Amino acid sequence: MIPHDDAALQWSLSAGGVTDSPALELETLFQEAVARHYDSVDEARRDDATIYREFYSRAFEAPAVKPYVCEHEVTAPHAAHVFSHAWKNGVWNVYQPLSFDLKRSENIRSKAFHWESLTRWLAQSPERPNIHLLLAAPSGEQRKAYDDAKDLLHASGTVNLIEEDEAMDFARDLERRIVAVGLAGR
């Protein structure tokens, strides 16, 4: 007579049990009922788009810079990637924001290995682009994994690394370089 209740909370009979450690039992129940659902949530505290917006967008949206920046695809024999921010001064300068603000050190290492491999292949493109990775450090306790990731990316010799605390200097340098090329082209 009463329809099945499909609400998020459903009432049932009370249940009980006996335990030697209520605190441990509570933690176990919390892990089973609540915490396990958070493992499927994205691992990034700040994703690539967020760090671009927070730190690097000012560099590309400056009035002297914006007309020269465009999207560019680098194509190599075994890899291709579209960079949203690129400009050309005889050679393509391409920029990729990368957030390493991840919860797990294995995810930081995995992302570093992915980008080291991809940029190594892209550097073999006939156009030989200057690849710049715009980095963001972890806000948590994963500093060692981040330092290892930077060492890995730097060791490839195919990329320039810019860290978030260098964003203002990067913006000034980018504007200076683009203005110099723009004035020379007129």
Among residues 46, 52, 43, 85, which one has the least CA distance to residue 68?
A: 85
Regions of the chain where pLDDT drops below 50: 40-42, 186
Predicted pLDDT of residue 40: 45
The C-alpha atoms of residue 134 and residue 124 are separated, in whole angstroms, by 21
Which helix (H) or strand (E) segment holds residue 24: the answer is helix 22-33
Q: Is residue 77 part of a domain?
A: yes
CATH number at residue 178: 3.40.50
Q: Does any domain span residue 17? A: no
Q: d(Cα 15, Cα 29) in Å, to the nearest integer?
A: 14
Residue 24 falls inside a structural domain: no
Judged by DSSP in three states, 141 sits in: coil
C-alpha span between 19 and 21 (Å, rounded): 5
Asked whether residue 22 is assigned to any structural domain, the reply reads: no
Name the nearest CA neighbour of 131 among 102, 156, 168, 107.
156
Q: Does some domain include residue 142?
A: yes
Number of domains the chain contains? 1
pLDDT tens digits, 51-68: 999 999 999 999 999 999
Does residue 148 belong to any structural domain of this protein? yes
Instruction: Tell whether 13 is covered by a domain.
Output: no
Inside any domain, residue 150: yes
pLDDT score recorded for residue 186 = 43
Query: Which strands sit side by side in the sheet containing 92-99, from one edge to the other?
Result: 70-76, 79-88, 92-99, 130-136, 159-163
Look up the pTM and report it.
0.74
What is the reported pLDDT for 21?
82
Per-residue pLDDT at 10? 65
pLDDT of the residue at 163:
96
Query: What CA–CA distance (Å, rounded) separates 14 from 5?
Result: 18
Beta bridge partners of 86: 70, 94
Please give the pLDDT value at position 13: 76
- Predicted confidence at residue 26, as pLDDT, reads 82
pLDDT digits (tens, 9 = 90+) for 105-123: 999 999 999 999 999 999 9
64: domain range?
48-184
Show the tokens assigned to 110. 């995995």
